[in-house]
Amino acid sequence: MNIHEYQAKALLRRFGAPVPSGAAILSASDADAAIASVTGPVWVVKSQIHAGGRGKGKFVEAEAGELGGVRLARSAEEAKSFVQQMFGRTLVTKQTGPAGKQVNRLYVEEGSAIEKEFYLSALVDRTTGGVAFVASTEGGMDIEEVAASHPEKIHTIAIDPATGVMPHHGRTLAKALGLTGDLAKQAEKLSATLYEAFVATDMSMLEINPLIVTEDGQLRCLDAKVSFDSNALYRHPELAELRDLTEEDEKEIEASKYDLAYIALDGTIGCMVNGAGLAMATLDIIKLYGEEPANFLDVGGGASEEKVTAAFKIITADPQVKGILVNIFGGIMKCDVIANGVIAAVKAVGLQVPLVVRLEGTNVEEGKRIIAESGLDVLPADDLDDAAQKIVAAVRGRN
Ligand code: ADP
Ligand code: MG
């Protein structure tokens, strides 16, 4: 689960990390109070969306101006005009995709006089099975580009979970960033603070880009991106409340209510499959025959008729879907349950697009019989290859 920058900063502040003061603007009426709470002389107005690259982003609407999603204002009046320009507009950044994201929240914070910008993140490192810091002197820019062009400028500091963060980790971090004296001490303290916050809240990623040195010699977290491990959220009900559903795909939210593993994709063929491996094979074979899948969907091993109906509704609600492929191997899952689920769903929502069903495994004959006798316009398939070719042909026949 991802959260907004202002929420991440509030969390880090609670753990004692150096974060500039600021106030969130959740509705237009919050603007005056939020701006007044920041003393200036520079106010930074920041779009709050779950995507990076906001500074260099562009708004779709001309009224929002050309200045990007993070703006420096020299007066409270200017800050106010930025708020009015950005609120409710659509920001396109390198990470949002071409459609962009609507800015429904803003954050106004005190401007910092920046001397240097660094990159610092903490993540779960699969090779060591522990938390690692990743640091670079090349902050404020795209870290993937730095990793590709100057891999020697990326430093990884692995932390043993048995000891947790130790002073030597902090010293290594300071050295990696070229910090000495008091700034090295601040870096050491920051590493301990961030590690504590990371572990205590079950984060899966924490990215500070940029971490800055101010002109008066202070380390500060100027940006903060936090993701939590969703499997651990049950331990943190207060963090679950930070979830912003407007940032998530509606179909994915609906799927999560039914415990369906669903990921929206860009193509035209909706897929309903049981088992993650079979689902991936299904996406591959659709691509092999020249079309693109509209989603990944694993209905799971023991899906009920209700779950199958919900899955089918989610797929058909997607206007991009021009055809549906149901591919079920009945192991624990029984083919007749799937057949009944599909029929119930088709009856409930109607079928506007071609539907190919491939069933195999437990109760397959019963499943096929139910579908054949349903009177619905379903194209049966013998195997995965046949199914993929049939749905691709059906989708193309419609174009
Ligand atoms: P993003 O990574 O989404 O572009 P950032 O929060 O990193 O957003 O902001 C982009 C840039 O704007 C930063 O690299 C920094 O140069 C500048 N900036 C952000 N916040 C402040 C601030 N409080 N004071 C001064 N400059 C800021
Ligand atoms: Mg940033």
User: pLDDT grade, residue 112 (50/70/90)?
Assistant: very high
Residue 399: pLDDT above 60?
Answer: no
State the pLDDT at residue 40.
Answer: 85
Residue 205: pLDDT above 80?
Answer: yes
| Ligand 1 midpoint to CA 9 (Å) | 13
State the pLDDT at residue 398.
Answer: 60
Write out the E strands in 126-268.
130-136, 155-158, 203-214, 219-221, 225-228, 261-264
pLDDT digits over 235-260, tens only?
999 999 999 988 988 888 888 888 88
pLDDT digits over 378-387, tens only?
999 989 999 9
Query: Does 274 appear as a known binding residue?
Result: yes
State the pLDDT at residue 256.
Answer: 85
Task: For residues 279-292, give the mean pLDDT.
Answer: 96
The residue nearest atom 11 of ligand 1, judged by CA position, is: 55
The ligand placed nearest to the CA atom of residue 55 is 1
Residue 110: active-site member: no
Q: How many CB atoms lie within 10 A of CB 287?
A: 15
State the pLDDT at residue 337.
Answer: 86
Residue 183: pLDDT above 80?
Answer: yes
Mean pLDDT across the chain, nearest whole number? Answer: 93
pLDDT digits over 121-168, tens only?
999 999 999 999 999 999 987 888 898 999 999 999 999 999 999 999
Interstrand relation of 225-228 and 261-264 (parallel, antiparallel or unpaired): unpaired
pLDDT digits over 71-103, tens only?
999 999 999 999 999 999 999 999 998 889 999
Residue 207: active-site member: yes
Residue 67: pLDDT above 90?
Answer: no
User: pLDDT grade, residue 49 (50/70/90)?
Assistant: very high
Residue 365: pLDDT above 80?
Answer: yes
State the pLDDT at residue 73.
Answer: 96
The ligand placed nearest to the CA atom of residue 107 is 1
State the pLDDT at residue 296.
Answer: 94
State the pLDDT at residue 252.
Answer: 86
Rounded to whole angstroms, the Cα distance separating 357 from 272 reads 9
State the pLDDT at residue 397.
Answer: 83
Residue 14: pLDDT above 90?
Answer: yes
* φ, ψ at 386 (rounded to 5°): -60, -45
Ligand 1 contacts (CB < 6 A) are 20, 44, 46, 52-55, 70, 109, 111-112, 114, 117, 140, 209-210, 222-223
Does residue 65 sit in helix, strand or coil? coil
Q: Is 46 within 8 Å of 224 (Cβ atoms)?
A: no
Report the DSSP beta bridge partners of residue 133: 122, 157
Residue 11: pLDDT above 80?
Answer: yes
Q: Tell me which residue of 92, 18, 85, 97 sits closest to 45, measured CA to CA.
A: 85
Domains of the chain and CATH, by start: 21-110 (3.30.1490.20), 114-238 (3.30.470.20), 249-398 (3.40.50.261)
Query: Does 57 appear as a known binding residue?
Result: no
Rounded to whole angstroms, the Cα distance separating 282 from 267 reads 13
The residue nearest atom 20 of ligand 1, judged by CA position, is: 222
Task: For residues 189-203, give the mean pLDDT.
Answer: 98
State the pLDDT at residue 142.
Answer: 83
User: pLDDT grade, residue 303 (50/70/90)?
Assistant: confident
User: pLDDT grade, residue 200 (50/70/90)?
Assistant: very high
| Ligand 2 midpoint to CA 207 (Å) | 8
Give 302-352 as a DSSP string: T--HHHHHHHHHHHHT-TT--EEEEEEEESSS-HHHHHHHHHHHHHHH---
Residue tagged active-site, from 6, 107, 119, 262? 119
List Cβ neighbours of 67 (8 Å cut-off, separation of 6 or more).
82
| Ligand 1 midpoint to CA 255 (Å) | 35
